Structure 1
Amino acid sequence: MALRATIFKLDLHVADMDRGYYGSHVLTLARHPSETDERMMLRVLAFALYADEGLAFTRGLSTTDEPSLWQKDLTGSILNWIELGHPDERRLLQASGKSEQVVVFCYGGHASQVWWQGVQANVARAPNLSVLSVSPASVQALAGFAQRAMTLHVTIEEGMALVASDADSVSVPLDVWR
Structure 2
Amino acid sequence: MLDIAITREDPWPHHDWDALAAAAAQAAICLTPYGDWLGGPATIEISVRLTTDDEVHALNHQYRHQDKPTNVLSFPMVQRDLLDAVTLNSDDGEVLLGDIVLAHDVCAAEAAERDIDLAAHAAHLIVHGTLHLLGYDHMDPREAEAMEEIEARALASLGIANPYLIHED
TM-score by length of 2: 0.32
Structure with larger RCO (C-alpha < 8 A, sep 6+): 2
TM-score by length of 1: 0.31
